[in-house]
A and B are shown apart, each in its own frame.
Chain A
């Protein structure tokens, strides 16, 4: 017999989502319009509607270990079509942030790696350097030959600069990142 889960009026997961995204997931009545319109739903282990239900029920592990939160590309088709006006894309965003904070193993480790490396390069350089992102992504993800098929034509067309962009404000950006971390730590401390 399948387990019966009774939604608890207080859910840590639901409160987190609400504080981060401003969205009250309890409003969801499971119509499924989000999943129906989601262009990536076919590739997800749980559809967006199931994620919403998972949050309502406080199924934290199931939600945070889903591929869904990483495959959501923030296209916002769900958000603008939701009859209850829940911004589902923002909910997904808050779940990614929580999953990172909890340091669990992401279901889509390459997507997480991409975002992490992207941000690390921006922190160091101030702007993205595509070639560096690609090289680091391939080496650190243990798939050295991934996506290299396009490289020769990109290089030939001048679409993939070999040298990183020169950014005078790179020191300022490093400071900005440090300040953001400090402020976030302070806010977290206050919440506790």
Chain B
């Protein structure tokens, strides 16, 4: 088997609101023989604000991280869909020589824009054989709604990740683990992104629509690959109950956590108790607690 080594860019939220994503990502990668070498002294990629304030800053911040990966000579993997998008978007814009020269001047470093950027989901889903050989538990009997959000899939001509309107990568992974992934129409609808502080009403409305459709279709949980989506869908379910008189009560899990369960890790190891919407009853119900 070829060696699978990646430069790892956790991004800010994986140290705070999405700690459980970082923990579960490292566990499953280690188990699957994927080596993650964290970028030394990485900094913020600028999401979700730099690009709105200055075009140059919106490129230079992710470029700094691209340069670090380039120095290591490794492809750069990001677990956060926003970071992934900003890194890949910058790499795309920096193909233009003039832009590259300008950004190089800002970085004051030798930078060739040579690093490849991938999302953690692609890396994990790639080697099916190893994964199948390591599975210890089936997720059979579990109905999951795979939610991709925006920045993992749009625009396809830059990201080249999966279909823009009906992506399948996460669904395929979940089916491989034995779960049933439901067919639904909110896979790539926006959750409200970076508005939870400034316009919580919008986040509540958009996220509630997503959650309630998944619930109506009989999903046991939603699966995500982005800390921003996770936070918007997971954290506000009590407020939704008050506002819409609809207690969704639908757990929202990272794909790495469900994969971790199937690989035999415990709910505690995978930090499944760290979500604001309780995952306990669902896990117990499915014999995964």
With A146-B197, A154-B17 given, is the CB distance from A167 to B41 under 8 Å?
yes
Q: Mark B231-244, 1 if CB is under 8 A from A, else 0.
A: 00001100100000
Chain A: minimal CB distance from B191 (Å) = 9
A118 B190 Cβ-Cβ under 8 A: no
Q: Which residues of B contact A80 (CB under 8 A)?
A: 154-156, 164
CA distance A103 to B261 in the complex (A): 52
Q: Report A113 CB to chain B, min CB distance, Å.
A: 7
Q: Which residues of A contact B55 (CB under 8 A)?
A: 20, 93-94, 97
The chain B residue sitting closest to A72, CB to CB, is B52
The A34-61 residues at the B interface (CB cut-off 8 A) are 39-40, 43
Q: Is B2 on the interface with A (CB-CB < 8 A)?
A: no
**Residues of chain A within 8 A of B275, CB atoms compared:** 157
Q: Taking A39-B190, A183-B105 as contacts, is the C-beta distance between A111 and B154 under 8 angstroms?
A: no
- A interface list, Cβ under 8 A from B: 20, 39-40, 43, 71, 73-77, 79-80, 87, 93-94, 96-97, 100, 108, 110-111, 113-116, 118-119, 122, 126-128, 130, 133-134, 137, 146-147, 149-150, 153-154, 157-161, 165, 167-170, 172-173, 175-177, 179-180, 183-184, 187
Seen from chain B, the residues whose Cβ lies within 8 Å of a Cβ on chain A are 12-13, 15-19, 41-44, 46, 48-57, 60-61, 64, 102, 105-108, 150-151, 154-156, 164, 188-190, 192-202, 206, 235-236, 239, 274-276
Query: Could you write out 26 A-B pairs with CB less than 8 Å apart?
Result: A39-B206, A40-B202, A40-B206, A43-B201, A71-B199, A73-B192, A76-B151, A77-B190, A80-B164, A96-B53, A100-B53, A110-B197, A115-B52, A122-B49, A122-B50, A147-B197, A154-B17, A158-B274, A159-B18, A165-B12, A169-B41, A173-B64, A175-B108, A176-B106, A180-B57, A180-B60
Given A43-B201, A96-B52, A184-B54, 16 further pairs, Cβ under 8 A: A43-B202, A71-B195, A71-B202, A75-B151, A76-B154, A96-B53, A108-B198, A110-B197, A115-B49, A116-B53, A128-B12, A130-B13, A134-B197, A177-B57, A179-B106, A183-B56
